[in-house]
């Protein structure tokens, strides 16, 4: 089973309805070319506008309906504004059970995200593309390799693409970052 994990293109904000920037729309269009040789059976995306707009050109060109899944929304660190949020986020990668008021721990968010992969595995698709957000994507990668953490998240770009080849969710055959030229 091949799973491609795509972090959305450049967006104008963090709100659920934040649109892509002009650069983000150009990146989304360029993704058609970047992903043209990958046979994709299904696309599952966060219902946030930036995720859906990022993958729309690819879905249209491949004639694949995008399945929206709320389990792929970005992880909420807290319901309250946090001044030093990067340091707080970093701490959650060291203590997976740590959570802040109104937020999810890394463990909770990872379990939520991995339940999507479990469902995909039962559908027996050859190749699925998941479209999500940086923090949640990093937590998925961490489930396969615990060397993926805060530093990987910090270096992540919009968009970014990772490929996981696996026989089942407890065994990863290969995982790599794919350089996108968008």
- Ordered by where they begin, the domains of the chain are 2-178 (3.40.50.1240)
Looking at per-residue pLDDT, the higher value among 171 and 119 belongs to 119
User: What are the pLDDT digits (tens) for 62-115?
Assistant: 999 999 999 999 999 999 999 999 999 999 999 999 999 999 999 999 999 999
Of the candidates 59, 68, 66, 55, the residue with the CA atom closest to the CA atom of residue 8? 55
Is a pLDDT exceeding 90 seen at residue 173?
A: no
Q: Is the predicted pLDDT of residue 170 greater than 80, yes or no?
A: no
pTM, two decimals, is 0.93
What are the respective helix, strand and coil percentages of the chain, to the nearest 5? 40, 20, 40
pLDDT at 91 (0 to 100):
98
pLDDT score for 92: 98
CA torsion angle 52 53 58 64 (round to 10) = 40
**Secondary structure class of 157 (helix, strand, coil):** coil
For the record, the structure tokens of 114 come out as 């991995």
């Amino acid at each position: 089973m091949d799973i491609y994990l795509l972090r959305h293109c450049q967006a104008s904000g963090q709100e659920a309805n934040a649109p892509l920037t002009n650069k983000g729309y150009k990146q989304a269009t360029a993704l058609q070319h970047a992903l043209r040789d990958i046979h994709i059976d299904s696309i599952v995306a966060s219902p946030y506008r930036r995720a859906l707009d990022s993958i729309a050109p690819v879905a249209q060109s491949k004639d694949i309906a995008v399945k929206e899944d709320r389990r792929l929304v970005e992880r909420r660190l807290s319901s309250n504004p946090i001044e030093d949020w990067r340091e707080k986020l970093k701490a959650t990668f060291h203590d997976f059970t740590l959570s802040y008021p109104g937020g999810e721990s890394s463990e909770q968010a990872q379990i939520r995200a991995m339940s999507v992969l479990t469902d995909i595995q039962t559908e027996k698709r050859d190749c699925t593309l998941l479209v999500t957000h940086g923090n949640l994507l990093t937590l998925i990668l961490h489930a396969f390799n615990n060397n993926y953490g805060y530093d990987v998240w910090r270096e992540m770009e919009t968009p970014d693409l990772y490929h996981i080849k696996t026989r089942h969710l407890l065994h990863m055959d290969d995982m790599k970052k794919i350089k996108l030229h968008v």
